[in-house]
């Protein structure tokens, strides 16, 4: 069971990371990048590092996504992309 979860999470992380790279629109890429963090949370938890999983969930998926989105909004306002 654990093996299936690990395999699925690894594949999901790789897939989501690849999709995040090939996205044309930047907000979609940022949201998919958040998905990479969520897959990493599952992996950290399965590999018995719940502290790291919590940190990744809060900072990697939460705050860094906010910072990316805010920077994107600011750039759009400045350059009218």
Instruction: Tell me which residues touch other proteins (CB under 8 A).
Output: 50-51, 53-55, 58-59, 62-63, 66-67, 70, 73-74, 77-78
Count the helices and strands in the chain (H runs, E runs).
4, 0
Query: In terms of CB distance, is 14 or 66 closer to other proteins?
Result: 66
d(CA 23, CA 65): 16
Closest separation in Å from C-beta 47 to other proteins? 13
Q: Which is nearer to other proteins, 17 or 52 (CB)?
A: 52
Query: What tokens were used for 10?
Result: 């690894």
User: Least separation, in Å, of the C-beta of 49 and other proteins?
Assistant: 8
- Whole-number Å distance between alpha carbons of 17 and 6: 16
């Amino acid at each position: 069971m654990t093996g299936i979860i690990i395999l699925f999470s690894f594949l999901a992380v790789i897939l989501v990371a690849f999709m995040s790279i090939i996205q044309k629109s930047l907000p979609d890429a940022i949201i998919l990048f958040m998905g990479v963090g969520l897959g990493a949370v599952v992996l950290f938890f399965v590999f018995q590092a719940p502290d790291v999983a919590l940190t990744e969930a809060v900072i990697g998926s939460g705050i860094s996504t906010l910072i990316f989105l805010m920077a994107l909004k600011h750039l759009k306002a400045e350059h009218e992309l």
